[in-house]
Every structure is written in C-alpha cells, then in structure tokens.
Structure 1
Amino acid sequence: MTSSVGQGRQPTSEPTARTVFALAWPMTIKAIMLHGTVVIDAYLVSSLGETSLAAMGLAAAIAGFVLGGILAFSNAMQIRTAQAFGTADPVFLKSVLSAGLMISLAVGFVGLALISLFGGTLIAAMAPNAEVAELATSYLTVFSLVILGEAIGQCLSSYFNGCGRTKLPLYSFCLSVPVNVTSSIILIHGYFGLPAFSVTGAAMGSALAVFVQVGFLIWRLVRLDGYLRRVVGWRNGTFGPTLKRHMAFSLPIAATFISATFSTHICMLIYAQLSLNEFAAMTLIAPWIMVAGTVGMQWAQASGIIVAQLLGQDHSEEALDRFLSSAWRGAFVAAGGVAAIYGVVCLSASVLYADLNIETQTILFGFLPLLLVLPFPKGSNAICGNTLRASGDTIYVMHVFVWSQWLFRVPATAFAVITFDLSAFWVLSIALWEELLKFPAFHTRLYRGDWKRAKIAE
C-alpha cells in the first residue's frame, strides 16, 4: 500500500486561513455535538424524576475526572501526530500512534482501578440517600465500558486530526449520536419487549454508541494507515524510550488541561456563595461561554496542527510567518462571531429565560460588555499557545496557564466572592483579566521567534 503520509505531506500551495477553516469546522461541529449530547442524555433521564437525574449526575461527575484525563492526553496526541505527519516519516507516525494509544489506555485503566477501589465509598458519601447511591453505582459500573471505549476513540480521533483528516472523527460522532439517543430511549423505558433498565439504560446506550464510534475509527485506520503495522523500528530506537519521549512531550499539555478542569470546578463551587439570582446567572452563562467559545478554540487548535505539520516539513520562517498572519486574521473573525453569539444570548435573556426572575435576566444582560471583549484576547492567546505547543515549547505554555489559574483566577474569585462580596459582573470579569494577564507572556514569547526554528525532524 502506498504511504498516506507521503501522499499528504507536500502541499500544492502554502496553507492559509482557508486551510485552517477546512480543518476547524469538522472539529468545531464535533465539539458542539459532544456538549449537546450531555444535554440530551440529561433530558432523556429527566423523565424518570429527580432521583434518577441526581444519580446520573453523581456518577457522571466521578467518571468525568477519568474522561478528562483521557481528553487531556488526546490533545497532546493531536499535536505530536501533526509533527510526525509533517515529517512524512512512517516510523515516527507509527511510534506516535502506538505510544499515544498505550498512554490513553493506561490512563483509562488506572482511572477504572481508582473508581473500583474508591468509587463506591465516594458515591455513598456524596449521595443524598441510599436509592441515589444504588442507581449511581449501577450507572457507573456500565459506564466503565464507555471510559475504555473513549480511551481508544479519543486517541484515534486525535491521530486523524493531527493527520489533517478532521472529518473522520466528525463522521464517527454522527454515527454514534443517533445510536446513543435511540438505544438509550429503548433501554431506559424497556420498549420492544426489553426490560426497563431505568438510568442504567442511559449508560448502556452510551456504551453501544461508543462501540460504534470506535469501530468506525478502527476501520478507517486499517484502511488508510494499515501499512504502519509493517513498518520496522521505533522513533527512539526501541519502544521503551519512544514511549518515554512521547510521555515527556504529552505531560505538560495534559497537565494544562487537567489544571484547567480542576480550577474551573473550584471556581464553580465558589460561585455557589453568590446570591441565588447571581449564581443562577453564572450557571446559565457558563455553558454558552463553553459552547460558543469552542469556535475560537478549535480554530486555534487547527492552526496549531498546521504549524506542527509545517515545522515537520521544515518550511522557511517566512512561510511560517505568512501562514500564522493569515490564521491570526481568521482567529479575529472567529472571535467576532463568538462575541456576536454572546451578544444575542445577553440581549435575548428575557426571551430565552422568560420563566426566570427579572433580576436574573438583568444580571445576564449586564454581562454583555465583558462578553463582547473576552473572545478577542482569549482567541489571540489560544493562537499563541497552540503555536508554541506545535514547536515543542509545551512546558512554557503549561506554566503560563497553570500559574495564571492558581495564582490569579482561583484566589481572585475567592476574594471577590467571599471576602469582598462583589457582584456577578465583577466576578465574571476575572476571566477577562486572566486573559489580559496571559497576553504579554504569550505574545512576547511568540514574537521572539524561537518557535520558527524548532527542528521537529531531528
């Protein structure tokens, strides 16, 4: 079979913002669908009542920590694959795929072991009653299959993204979502003569869906890159050093995403100390910030993939500058689109949330000035961070993110809410101040230009 790496390495022309768009839109739709699936699952279970919904939420929160670890390492896999794909070295590509899959499975198995050892105790301590604890334990037992499936699926999705085949993970999700919804409805309520599994049926539906998703990805991997099984050798001599090198590259990126997850959860706990209306407004705006912000973040990730490929191909500094300038202009357009979505949400608060208290609607409308500005420094910082990661400057990026989160965002949120009793507007403004704090650290590093001289192929 002819190597798909060789076929895809040499572009007919220099990539531009249009190239980024071709990679970014499937990634964006998949990310939005992923967030939407969580909402759909909760909606399906909500018909069973508050007890089942609480059980699902409790089990999902525990499983979420393991899935978060898998997703964190998959982000590193995406960049590393792009570097390998750019070099057109099949040994490098095989090494990245094998090492990334090994690490992802290890994270999944370690997470499942921890859930097996401590999950029951944690559920018993957190559940409001014995019925919720029993349902949550049953849900989590079946959901363990989803965790194992995601360990493989997220790794393969990141591999395809890094190779520029971002439509394949989207296709896998388009296949799995209908399976998830249909099978969950049948298994929850016991249609077509099947037993009614209640909330556990939702976990079964998710497990069936992830098997479909992983099966599709494995099929495409065998068809497109099956030749890698016959490639002899490893990137760093033997598999042990190759795995160690991949882990060294991945850990700073994974730590960045894990830190972001933990700091966000802690801030949400602090938000609970706000007044009822302010906390409700913060709870409502958070999903919009996450979902709409996906547009800018996926654009930045797609830009990082292309930078990694260009560095692997050893393109000139001038070509890298031209591409990044084009990608940056596109990032500002994406930021404008995100700001427009925020504007519509804030201006339509009285319509979207007509059943809520007028004070809550007013607070949501008051977020408008912040949300119109936030996407621009956030998008620019994301371009910098993903470009630096693509060049291998992962530890510096980790430090910028981690220290801004734990030395600024978390303590500033605690002081604003608990000590100074500031309004929700000023609490939300901390997100903007955090981006402004990171701005000089990222941009001075990028403008220094060392990233353009990274030798990925060596």
Structure 2
Amino acid sequence: MTVIAAPSATPSNVAIFRMAWPLGLKAMMLHGIVVIDAWLVSALGEPALAAMGLAASIAGLILGTLMAFSNAAQVRIAQAYGSGDPVSLKTGLYVGILINVASAALGIGLVALFGDDIIRAFAHTPWIADQAISYLQVFLLVVVFEAFGQVLGSHFNGCGKTLMPAKSYLLAIPINVVTSYVLIHGHWGLPELGVSGAAVGSAIAAMTRMLFLGAGLWRMNRAYLGVEGWRNGTLRASIHRHLVFALPIAGTFISMTIVNNICMLIYAKMSVNDFAAMTLIQPWVLVAGNFSTAWGMATGIAVAQLLGSNVPGDDLVVFLKRAWRGAFVAAIVVSLCFLGLSLSVQGIYGQLEAQTRAALWSFLPFLLVLPFPRGSNLMCGHTLRASGDTVYPMKVHVCSQWLVRLPLTAAFILWLDLSVTWVFALVLFEEFVKLPFFHSRILKGEWKKGLKEDD
C-alpha cells in the first residue's frame, strides 16, 4: 500500500477553511450532544440539571483524557502523512488506540472505586446524588466507545480527511436526540428513565459513531493490515516513543479537564440557580468557540504536514501570518454567536427560573471579548505542538490553570461569596494571563525547525 504525501506548497486560507469547517462542525456536534442533553433534561427542572452537571463533571475527566491522547495521535499522524510513510501512519493509529483503551480502563476503575462518594459529597440533596450516580453508571459506556472513536477520528483528521469525523456526528446526533428524548420522558411505551435516559442516548450514539468510523477506515486502507513493522522497530518501542511525545500534550488537556471539572464541583457549592447557569453556559462556550478551535487545529495539522515534508521556514512564516488573519475572522464569528445566544436566552430556556436566565445574560460582556485572546492562544498552542514543542504549551496551560483560575475560583465562591458573573469572568482572565507567554514563544521562531524523531 502506498501513501501520497501532502503537497509541499503552503495551503491557502481557503484550503485551511476546507479542512477547518468539518473540524468545527464535528466539535460543535460533539459538545452539542452535551447542550442537547442539558436542554432535554432542563425540562425536568434545576435539580435534574444539577444532577447531570455533577455526573458530567466526573465523566468529563475520563473523556478529556481520551481526547488528550487522541489529539497527540492526531499530530503524529499528520506528521506521518506529510512524510508519506505508511508504517508511521499505522503506528500512530494503533498505538493511539492502545493508549486510549488503557486510559479508559483506568478511568472506569477509578470511577467504580470513588465516583459515588465524590458525587454524594458535592450533591445538594440525596435525590440529586442518586440521579447523578445513575447517569454516570450508564455514561461509562460512552467512555468505552469513545476510546476507539476518538482515535479513529484523529486518524482521518491527521490525514486531512476532516469530513469523515464530521459525518459520523451527523449520523450520531439525531440518534442521540431521539433516543434521549424518548427515554427521558418514557414515550412510545419505553421506560421513563429521567436523567439517565440522556446517558443511554449518548451511549447508543457513541457506539454508532465508532462503527461508522471503523467501517470508513476499513474501506480506506483495510486498517493497515497489509503494512508490516512499526515506526520504532517494535510495538513496545513505538508505544514508548509515542508516550514521550504525547504525555506533554495529554498533560495539557488532562490538566485542563481536571481543573474544569474541579471548578464544576466548586460551582456546585453555589445556589442551584447559579450552578444551573454555569452548567448551561459551559457547553455553549465550547460549541461557539469551536469556530476558533477548528481554525487553530486545522492550522496545526497543516503545520505538522508541512514540517513532515520539509517546507522552508520562511514559507511557514508566510503561511502562519495568513492563517492568523483567518483566526481573527473566526473570533468575530464566535463573538457574534455569543451575542445571539444571549439575546435568545428567554426563548431557549424560558422554562427556567428568572434568576437562572438573569445569570446567563450577565455573562455577555465577557463572552464578547473571550474569542479574541482565546483564538490567538489556540493558534500558538496548535502551532507549537505541531512542531514538536509540546512541553512549553503544557507549562503555560498548567500554570495558568492551577495557579490562577482554580485558586481564584475557590476564593470567589468559598470565601468571598462573589456573584456568579465574576466567577465566570475568570475564564476570560485566564486567557489574558496566557497571552504574552504563548506569543513570545512563537516570535522566537524555534517552531519552524520542527522536531526530529530522535530529539
């Protein structure tokens, strides 16, 4: 089997857009599943929404880990695609799957040991705790399917075939919506499962997506079964090398996921209305922000492919400057999306209490500014990781998360008792803290040299 390497000429912004929009659509649909589940569960009231948010904060730790290692595999696969080496492509895929499966097994084991106790410690009432535990137990099936599905999607993305993962979500989301709605409310003679019905719908959708991507991989290259050998000689050596490269990337995403979910647990100490508002806004921030995320990720994939095909540094700089202008346009689009969301709060969440809707409206000033520093930081982070500079972005993220946002969140809620508006403002403050560190690294220019396998 032969693999055609990506062309050495730097892609235009139109080419980046063609790669980015399926990435954005896929990510919007991924986070949209959470938004849809939250919207469907919101009809059951604030306590049910709080139960789902509490369970999701724990399940998010495992899914964040899987997505972290999948992003690392995506960079490796993009570099391999740029070089045109089928052995490296095979190695990136199968090593990524093995690492994800091991991570999922570890996460499920930890949830089985400690999940119930954590939920009961943070739930406002025993009913909320019971509902959260029921949701989490079913949602672990999503973890199993996503262990495979995330890496399969990263393989297609790394090869520049970003439309395939987007199609998988186009197939999965309607299944998730219909199944969740029916099982939450008990329509068509099926049992009324309440909050856990949303988890069942998500599990069925995740299984469908995994099977769709697996079939696509088989049609594409018979899953590399005809390719012999491993990138580093043996499977064990390849796993070791992959982990050396991937752990800083995974560490970045794992740290972010842990901090986000710890913050969600701290948010649970606010009033039910304020916690419901934070539960609702977080998925929307991810969904709308995916315009910027997709552009940054597509740029990173292109940089990795160009470095793999040894494009000169001056051409890389010209490409990145051009891509950065596109990132600014994406930030404007995200800001307008947040404005539209705020203006639609009454229509979308009219069944919620006025205090919850007022909290959502108060986030608007920060939402309008957030896309610009975040989008710029995303461009820096994806470019550095694509070049192999994985440790520095990890340091920036970890320090800003653990030394800035997490302690300030705890102080604002547990000691100062500030309003939910100021708590949400910390999301924007963290981006401004990271901004000078990321940009100074890009301006230094070392990323243009890339990172060789033995470095």
**TM-score bracket relative to the smaller structure:** 0.7 to 0.9
Partner residue, 1:67:
63
**1:174 to 1:408, Cα distance in 2 relative to 1, 3 A:** same
**1:225 to 1:135, Cα distance in 2 relative to 1, 3 A:** same
Distance in 2 between residues matched to 1:160 and 1:316, nearest whole Å? 26
Comparing 194-203 with 301-310, which one deviates more in the overlay? 194-203
Matches within 5 A, 1:181-200: 181-187=177-183, 200=196
Matches within 5 A, 1:100-115: 100-115=96-111
Does residue 342 of the first structure (1) align with residue 338 of the second (2)?
Answer: yes
Distance in 2 between residues matched to 1:168 and 1:36, nearest whole Å? 18
Partner residue, 1:168:
164
Displacement of 1:72 in angstroms is 1.8
Displacement of 1:189 in angstroms is 5.7
Q: Deviations over 1:283-313 (max 9, x none)?
A: 6654443322121112111111110111111
Q: 2:19 aligned to 18, 23, 36, which one?
A: 23
Partner residue, 1:177:
173
Partner residue, 2:434:
438
Contact 1:45–1:53 at 8 Å: present in 2 too? yes
Matches within 5 A, 1:312-391: 312-346=308-342, 367-391=363-387
Comparing 402-411 with 93-102, which one deviates more in the overlay? 402-411
Q: 2:33 aligned to 26, 34, 37, which one?
A: 37
Contact 1:87–1:457 at 8 Å: present in 2 too? no
**1:106 to 1:329, Cα distance in 2 relative to 1, 3 A:** same
**1:246 to 1:28, Cα distance in 2 relative to 1, 3 A:** same
Q: Deviations over 1:297-332 (max 9, x none)?
A: 121111111101111111111221121111101001
Distance in 2 between residues matched to 1:110 and 1:212, nearest whole Å? 24
Query: Residue 436 of structure 1: SS of its match in structure 2?
Result: helix
Matches within 5 A, 1:267-286: 267-268=263-264, 285-286=281-282
Contact 1:346–1:365 at 8 Å: present in 2 too? yes
Contact 1:123–1:136 at 8 Å: present in 2 too? yes
**1:79 to 1:425, Cα distance in 2 relative to 1, 3 A:** same
Contact 1:256–1:401 at 8 Å: present in 2 too? yes
Query: Residue 225 of structure 2: SS of its match in structure 1?
Result: helix
Structure 2 letter corresponding to 1:216: F
Displacement of 1:248 in angstroms is 1.4
**1:37 to 1:16, Cα distance in 2 relative to 1, 3 A:** same
**1:263 to 1:55, Cα distance in 2 relative to 1, 3 A:** closer
**Gaps spanning 5+ residues in structure 2: where?**
none
Contact 2:217–2:223 at 8 Å: present in 1 too? no
Does residue 9 of the first structure (1) align with residue 6 of the second (2)?
Answer: yes
Q: Deviations over 1:249-295 (max 9, x none)?
A: 11111111121122233444555677888777666654443322121
**1:32 to 1:433, Cα distance in 2 relative to 1, 3 A:** same
Partner residue, 2:201:
205
Distance in 2 between residues matched to 1:457 and 1:287, nearest whole Å? 37
Query: Residue 222 of structure 2: SS of its match in structure 1?
Result: helix
Contact 1:149–1:214 at 8 Å: present in 2 too? yes
Query: Residue 319 of structure 1: SS of its match in structure 2?
Result: helix
Query: Residue 9 of structure 1: SS of its match in structure 2?
Result: coil
**1:200 to 1:429, Cα distance in 2 relative to 1, 3 A:** closer
Distance in 2 between residues matched to 1:123 and 1:44, nearest whole Å? 22
Displacement of 1:403 in angstroms is 0.5
Distance in 2 between residues matched to 1:52 and 1:323, nearest whole Å? 48
Does residue 399 of the first structure (1) align with residue 395 of the second (2)?
Answer: yes
Displacement of 1:227 in angstroms is 6.2
Contact 1:314–1:455 at 8 Å: present in 2 too? no
**1:362 to 1:246, Cα distance in 2 relative to 1, 3 A:** same
Distance in 1 between residues matched to 2:270 and 2:363, nearest whole Å? 15
Contact 1:381–1:439 at 8 Å: present in 2 too? yes
Distance in 1 between residues matched to 2:120 and 2:359, nearest whole Å? 37
Comparing 65-74 with 46-55, which one deviates more in the overlay? 46-55
Contact 1:55–1:132 at 8 Å: present in 2 too? yes
Comparing 111-120 with 216-225, which one deviates more in the overlay? 111-120
Displacement of 1:366 in angstroms is 5.9
Distance in 2 between residues matched to 1:420 and 1:57, nearest whole Å? 23
Partner residue, 1:153:
149
**1:126 to 1:268, Cα distance in 2 relative to 1, 3 A:** closer
Partner residue, 1:264:
260
**1:94 to 1:122, Cα distance in 2 relative to 1, 3 A:** same
- Quote the RMSD (CA, aligned, Å): 3.4
**1:233 to 1:433, Cα distance in 2 relative to 1, 3 A:** same
Structure 2 letter corresponding to 1:174: L
**1:227 to 1:198, Cα distance in 2 relative to 1, 3 A:** closer
Does residue 450 of the first structure (1) align with residue 450 of the second (2)?
Answer: no
TM-score, normalisation: structure 2? 0.87
Comparing 206-215 with 77-86, which one deviates more in the overlay? 206-215
**1:352 to 1:443, Cα distance in 2 relative to 1, 3 A:** same
**Gaps spanning 5+ residues in structure 1: where?**
none
Displacement of 1:165 in angstroms is 0.9
The one of the two structures with greater contact order (alpha-carbon pairs below 8 A, sep at least 6) is 2
Comparing 47-56 with 79-88, which one deviates more in the overlay? 47-56
Partner residue, 2:219:
223
How many residue pairs match? The answer is 454
Distance in 2 between residues matched to 1:409 and 1:141, nearest whole Å? 30
Identical-residue share of aligned pairs (%): 51
Q: 1:79 aligned to 75, 82, 86, which one?
A: 75
Displacement of 1:360 in angstroms is 7.5
Partner residue, 2:92:
96
TM-score, normalisation: structure 1? 0.86
Structure 2 letter corresponding to 1:62: I
Query: Residue 94 of structure 1: SS of its match in structure 2?
Result: helix
Distance in 2 between residues matched to 1:356 and 1:194, nearest whole Å? 27
Query: Residue 230 of structure 1: SS of its match in structure 2?
Result: coil
**1:181 to 1:253, Cα distance in 2 relative to 1, 3 A:** same
Displacement of 1:345 in angstroms is 4.0
Structure 2 letter corresponding to 1:244: H
Distance in 2 between residues matched to 1:56 and 1:271, nearest whole Å? 13
Distance in 1 between residues matched to 2:327 and 2:252, nearest whole Å? 22
Displacement of 1:173 in angstroms is 1.1
Comparing 140-149 with 422-431, which one deviates more in the overlay? 422-431
